[in-house]
Amino acid sequence: MKMHTINFTINGRKESLKVSSNLTLLHMIRENLALTGTKNGCEAGECGACTVLLNGEPVNSCMVLAVECDRAEIMTVEGLTENGELARLQESFKNLNAVQCGFCTPGMLITAYELLQRNPHPTPSEIKEALVGNLCRCTGYERIIQAVEQASGE
Amino acid sequence: MKKSQKILALIGTNIPRVDIQEKMTGEALFTDDIQFGVKLLYARIKRSPHAHALIKSIDTSRAEKLPGVRAVVTGADFSGRIGLYLKDRHIIARNRVRYIGEPVAGVAAVSEAVAEKALDLIQVEYEPLPALFLPQDAIKPDAPLIHPDLGEYEVVNFIFPKPGTNISNHFKIRKGDMKNAWKNCAAIVENEYYIPHIQHVPLETHVAVAKVDLSGKITLWTSSQSPFAQRDLIAKTWGMSPADIKVISPYVGGGFGCKAGVTMEALPVLLAMKVKGCPVKLRLTREEEFYTNFVRQALLIRLKMGCDAEGNILAMENTMYWDGGASTEYGVNITRAGGYSSTGPYDIPNVKTDSYCVYTNNTIGGPYRGFGMSELHTGIEQCVDELANKIKMDKVAFRMRNVVESGDILATGMVMHPTGIKACIEKVAEAIEWGKPSEPSAPHKKRGKGIALMWKAPAMPPNPGSSATLKFNSDGTVFLSIGGQEIGQGAFTVAAQIAAAGLGVPMDWIRISKPLDTDYSSYEWQTVASRITWTMGNAILDAAKDARKQIFKIVAKAWKENKKDLEIKDGIVYSTNTDKKISLKDFVITGIPKKKDQGWIGGPIIGRGKFMPTYVTGLDKDTGQGKRAVVHYTTGAQGFIVEVDTLTGKLEIIKAVSAFDVGKAINPDLVKAQIEGGMVQGISSALFEQLVFKEGVLQNPNFVDYRIATTMDLPDKMESYYIEVPQDDGPFGARGIGEHPMVPTIAAIANAINDAVGIRLEGPPFTAEKLFMAIKAQNKSVD
C-alpha cells in the first residue's frame, strides 16, 4: 500500500503522519493518534458515533480517508475540554443527565457544538434536524435536545 | 438524629451521575479503547452461508500458509458445548451448521485485512439440509430435527426439553377448571399475534480480547453485562477453575441484554489458546452485530380470554411459540418467563398456558430488555382491549376491575405482594385525558387513545447472588467493589448513593472500583433482569452494616461507651449520649490510640456484604404451580395519543405517558431517564423495527434498512411518572426499572391505532405502508 505524508492540526496541535492510502480518518484518530474518545459504531456513515469536525464541518470520520486531511484542521471530543474544564455544552449534558452508556456522546457533542457555532440559538426542531444522523439507543434523545437548548440559552 | 433523616439526604435525591465527567470528555474507557501494543492479533470469523447443512470437510491449509496468519481454528479444535441454561451450542460449528452466520472457522492474524484474506482461503464443503424458519413448522411431528442430540445436553432443573422434537422447553400452567370457566363467560375473544425478531443494536458492537498465558490462564477483556457469568461459563466449558480466568470489563456502550451470558466472547479465547502470550481481539462489524448477534426471539401467540357480563375475566388460554433460533441456551428461560407471567398483570382464576421454545434455523434468540415481556404483553393487552370492547365496557374500568392486587393468588400459586399498578393506571389515564376525544390536526387525520399495562419479574435462576465490599482509605474515602456493571442505566451512581447512605458518609467519599475485574470485584451474577438496584443495593447495604459494626466496636471501646449510642453522619462518628465526635478519617486505617500512649484499638475497616434471594421455589413441571415463582413484580402502565394520516398511513405520536411502580426512586431523575429511554426504544420497536429474513438470510443488516428511532421520531410530548409502593426486601424499598419502560409500548400504540382507525395489524412494526394498506382494505370493505 502506498504511504503518504500528511500534515494537519488536531485539537489545536500540529501533527505529521505517514498514512496508507486506505486508512480512514476514524482509524487514524483512534489508532495512530490514540484519541479514543471518537467511537467506531458502524464504519458505514450511518450512526454518527465517529463524528468529528473537519475544517469546521461535522463529518463521519469513518467515511473520510486520512489522505484527504492533509493541511486540514480537525477537532475531536477531546478538543472540547480546555484544561480539564467542561465546555458549556458539556455542562448542560451533565446537568440534564443527557448521557447513559456514553458511546454516542462524543459524536453527539461534536455535532451539537458545530450547530451552536453556526446557529447560537437553535429552535428544538433545528436541534432535532441537526442531530438526526447521530443515533442513540439509550436516552430517547429528549434530554440531549434539551441540553443543547440549555447550552444555547442566555 | 434519626436514621431516616440521615438517609433522606441521599436517597430520593438527584445526585449527578458518577460516570458523567469521563463520558463528557471522551476519557471513559470502553473495551475497544484499551491499548494492547504490537503483540495484538486481530480475529475474523468464517461464517456459514447455509441455514442448515452438514459440514463435509474444511480445508484451512492455504489460510495457514498466508503470511501474517498466526492461528486458525475450526470446530475440530474443541468439542465442548457452552450455554447458560441448556448447553446446546458449539463455540465453532462441528459437523453441522444451524443458521446463517454460525462460526465455522476463525483466524487470528497481524491485521484485520490479513485475517479477512485468510477467511477467503478456507474451503468448506457443505451438504445442505432442509431448513425450518417458522416455529409452527418446526413443531410438526415430521419436522427434521435441528438438534438430534437434544436428550444428551446438560440442562438446569427448571427447563424441560423434549428430546426427539424441536422443542427445547415446554412450560405449562394448569390452574382452575377451564371447561366450566368458558361456559360461564358472557364474552370470549380469540386472537393470534405475531411479534417479529428485532435486534438490540447497542451503539458499541460486541468486542472481546483474549489472552492465554503459557500456563494456560486466560485473561478476557470484554464489553460485558456479565463478567462473572462469562468467567464461570468459560471455566465450565473448558473444565477449568474460575480462578484461572480473569475477565476485565470496562464501560459498556449499551447492552439491552445482548452482552449478557457468553455470545461471541469464547471465539477469541479459542484462538488465543493457539497463540499463547498474544492478545487476540474480535470486534463484530455492524453487519455481524445485526445477523450473528443473539436476536429478540420472534413470538407467535394464540390467546383466548373470556369474561362474565360484569367484566370479570374468568379464563385465559395462552399458547406461545417462541422462535428460539438455532440455539436456545439462553432462550429457554425466556420461554419460562413468558410462561409464569403469562396472564399479564391480571387476576384470572382459570388459566391454561403452554409456552414452547422451538428450535428453528434462524439466528439465535437471546435476552432482550425485559425478555419475553414486550412480546407477551403485545398479545395480552390487545386481547384485553378487544374483550372490553366486546362487552362494551370502558377499557380503563375493565382493567381496574381485573388488575392484580396485593394478596391475589397468581396463576403459579404465588401470592401477590403490594403493588401500585392501580395508581399507575390512574396517572396515565389522567395524563392522556382518557375518555375525552382529542381533536385531529386535519380532516383526513384521525386520533386515538390507547392504554396498556405491564408486569415483569426479574427472570433468573432462583438463587443469583450479589456481593459488595467497602474498603476505607486513610482520608475516609471508600472504594466500593461491586460486580454489577454500568451499562448506561446509572448502576454506579445508585450503588454509590446506597453506599454513602448506608455508611453515613458524604457521597463524594465513595469511589467505585473499576473497571470490573473478576479477580478484584465482588461477585455479581449478571447485570440483567432489572435486578441490580435491588439485589446489588441490598448487598451494599449489608456491607455498610458490616463496616458500621466494626467502626462502632472500635469507637465504643475507645470511648468506653455503648455501641448502641453511636451514629455516623457526614463521615463523623458521634455519640448520642455524650458530645464526643471523631471523624472516620482519623481511625479507619490507623485505629484509635489508647490513652497515655498505651497501644491502639482497631485497624483497617473492610465491610463485606451479600444478598441472595433464598425463597424462590420450583414450579411443578405439569401444572406450573409452586409457592413462589419469582422474587417480585414491577408493574406499570403506558398511555398514548396517536394521529393517523388516512391518506398516507403515517402515524404521529401526539403524547406518550408512562407510570411505573419502582418501590422507591433512589435517584428520581435517573428513574425518569430510564423510563424515557425505554419508552423511545419501545416506540422504535413498535413503529420501525423488524429483522427481515428471507430463507434465513437477513435482508436489512444496517442502519439504513433497519431503522431505529432518531431525534425526528419522538412523540410531540412525553411524560414519565413513578409510584412508590415499597418492596419489602428492596434497599429503601426499591425495585428495578431498567427494562419495564418498553414492555407495554407496542400494545399501547396498537390500542391507540385501533381507537383511531379501527384497525388491528397482526403485529409490529406499524409502518405507514402497513397502515395505509389496511385503511385501503377497510375502505374497500365499507364500499
ipTM: 0.98
Distance, in angstroms, between B64 CA and closest chain A CA? 23
C-alpha cell at B145: 430435527
Contact in structure between A137 and B703 (CB atoms under 8 Å): no
Which position has the grid cell 438438534?
B147
- Same domain for B249 and B358? no
Domain containing residue B266: CATH number: 3.90.1170.50
A 106-125 near B (Cβ less than 8 A): 106, 109
Q: Is B209 helix (H, G, I), strand (E, B) or coil?
A: strand
- Last residue of some domain: B611, B641, B666? B611
Identify the band that residue A154 occupies on the pLDDT scale cut at 50, 70 and 90.
Answer: low
Structural domain includes residue B677: yes
Q: Is residue B198 part of a domain?
A: no
Domain total of chain B: 3
* Dihedral Cα B569, B570, B571, B574, nearest 10 deg: -30
Residues in contact with B564: Cβ distance below 8 Å, sequence separation at least 6, in sequence order: none
B663 and B756 belong to one structural domain: yes
Instruction: Please tell me whether residues B572 and B624 are part of one structural domain.
Output: no
Q: How confident is the model at residue A6 (pLDDT cuts 50, 70, 90)?
A: very high
Listed by number, the residues of chain A in 122-141 with a beta carbon closer than 8 Å to a beta carbon of chain B are 127-129, 131-141
Residues with Cβ < 8 Å from A123, sequence gap 6 or more? none
Contacts with A, B 669-698, CB within 8 Å: 669-670, 673, 676-681
**Cβ neighbours of A109 in B, within 8 Å:** 24
Q: For residue B674, give the H/E element and its range.
A: helix B668-687
B280 and B378 inside one domain: no
Amino acid in the structure at residue B171:
F
Alpha-helix runs per DSSP H in B513-667: 532-559
**Residue B395 falls within a domain, yes or no?**
yes
What three-state secondary structure class fits B286? Answer: helix
Beta-ladder partners of A19: A4
- A126-138 burial code (b ≥16 CB/10 A, e <16): bbbebbebbbbbb
Residues A96, A146: contact at Cβ < 8 Å?
yes
H helix runs in B251-362, sequence order: 266-272, 286-291, 331-340
Instruction: Give the integer Cα–Cα distance in Å for B135 and B183.
Output: 31
Distance separating alpha carbons of residues B169 and B158, to the nearest angstrom = 9
Residue type, B255: G
Of the candidates B743, B621, B746, the residue with the CA atom closest to the CA atom of residue B354 = B621
Regions of chain B with pLDDT less than 50: 1-5
CA-to-CA separations, A40 to A28, A56, A119, B118, B716, in angstroms, rounded:
12, 20, 27, 24, 31
Contacts 24+ apart (CB under 8 A), A110-115: A110/A51, A110/A52, A110/A53, A110/A58, A110/A75, A110/A76, A110/A77, A110/A80, A111/A48, A111/A51, A111/A58, A112/A144, A112/A147, A112/A148, A112/A151, A113/A53, A113/A80, A113/A87, A113/A89, A114/A53, A114/A56, A114/A57, A114/A58, A115/A148
Q: Is residue B685 part of a domain?
A: yes
Whether residues B85 and B228 share a domain: the answer is yes
- The answer to whether the CB atoms of B203 and A41 lie below 8 A apart is yes
Residue B608: CB atoms within 10 A of its CB come to 16
Domain of residue B433, CATH code: 3.30.365.10
Residues B663 and B540 in one domain: no
Residues 6+ apart with CB under 8 A from B189: B303, B304, B305, B306, B383, B386, B387, B390
Other CB atoms within 10 A of residue B579 CB? 7
Q: Which of B267, B291, B315 is the last residue of a domain?
A: B291
* Residues B506 and B572 reside in one and the same domain: yes
Are A139 and A99 within 8 A, CB to CB?
yes
Measured in whole angstroms, the distance separating CA B671 from the mean position of its chain's CA atoms is 16
Strands B295-296 and B218-222: unpaired
User: Does B38 touch chain A if contact means CB atoms closer than 8 Å?
Assistant: no
Q: Verify that B595 and B706 share a domain, yes or no.
A: no
CB contact under 8 A, A103 and B205: no
Q: How far is CA B679 from the centre of its chain?
A: 15
In a domain, B164, yes or no: no
Query: Least CB-CB distance to B203: which of A103, A129, A145?
Result: A103
Q: Domains along chain A? A: 3-79 (3.10.20.30), 88-152 (1.10.150.120)
* Angle between the N-to-C axes of helices B421-431 and B395-402, in degrees from 0 to 180, rounded to the nearest 10: 170
Window A:67-96, CB contacts with B under 8 Å: 76-78, 80-81, 84, 86, 90, 93-95
B448 and B509 together in one domain: no
The residues in B 477-516 lying below 8 A from A, measured between CB atoms, are 487-490
- Over residues A126-143, mean pLDDT: 98
Rounded to 5°, angle at Cα B265 from B515 and B689: 95
Residues 6+ apart with CB under 8 A from B270: B73, B77, B78, B91, B92, B106
Q: What is the CA radius of gyration of chain B?
A: 27
Query: Taking a C-beta distance cutoff of 8 angstroms, is the pair B43, B108 a contact?
Result: yes
CB A110 within 8 A of CB A104: no
B772 bridge partner residues: none
B680-698 pLDDT per residue, tens: 999 999 999 999 999 999 9
Search chain A and give the residue with CA nearest B17: A97
Contact B468, B543 (CB under 8 A): yes
Q: What is the pLDDT of residue B3?
A: 47
Flag whether B210 is in a domain. Answer: yes
CB B509 within 8 A of CB B570: no
Q: B374-394 pLDDT, tens per residue?
A: 999 999 999 999 999 999 999
pLDDT value at residue B329: 97
Q: Is residue A85 over pLDDT 90?
A: no
C-beta separation of B425 from B401 below 8 A: no
Gap between the Cα atoms of B640 and B638, Å rounded: 7
Q: Specify the pairing of strand B81-82 against strand B187-195.
A: unpaired
Torsion of CA B510, B511, B512, B518, to 10 degrees: -110
Q: Are residues B300 and B423 in the same domain?
A: yes
* CA distance, residue A128 to nearest chain B CA (Å): 5
Q: How far is CA B327 from CA B84, B98, B126, B361, B475, in A?
A: 11, 8, 20, 9, 52
Grid cell listed for B603:
485497624
pLDDT in tens, B184-232: 999 999 999 999 999 999 999 999 999 999 999 999 999 999 999 999 9
CA distance A82 to chain B (A): 10
pLDDT at B8: 55
> Contact B121/B43 with Cβ under 8 angstroms?
no
* Residue B661 to residue A51: CA distance in whole angstroms: 38
Cα(B176)–Cα(B261) distance, integer angstroms? 37
Say if CB B401 and CB B311 are below 8 A apart. yes
Across the interface, whether the CB atoms of B23 and A109 are under 8 A apart is answered no
When scoring B711, B714, B737 by the number of chain A Cβ atoms within 10 A, the one with the most, hence best to mutate, is: B711
DSSP alpha helices (H): ranges in A5-78? Answer: 25-27
Q: Looking at the complex, report in whole angstroms how far the Cα of residue B95 sits from the nearest Cα belonging to chain A.
A: 33
The count of C-alpha atoms lying within 13 angstroms of the C-alpha of B372, restricted to the half-sphere facing its C-beta, is 29
Angle at A129 (CA atoms; ends A139, B708), nearest 5 degrees: 45
Closest CA to A20 of A7, A35, A5: A5
Do both B533 and B573 map to the same domain? yes
**Residues in chain B within 8 Å Cβ distance of A106:** 26
Residue B664 structural domain: 295-460+618-782
Residue B430 counted as domain residue: yes
Pairing of strands B651-661, B717-723: parallel
Cell readout for B206 is 460486541
pLDDT score of A70: 98
- Give the pLDDT confidence score for residue B782 in this predicted structure: 65
Are B760 and B645 contained in the same domain?
A: yes
Contact yes or no for B13/B667 (Cβ under 8 A): yes
The Cα–Cα gap between A137 and B200 comes to 9
Q: Which residue of A has its CA nearest to B489?
A: A100
Strand, coil or helix: what is B480?
A: strand
Q: Is residue B602 part of a domain?
A: yes
Q: Residue B489, SS3?
A: coil
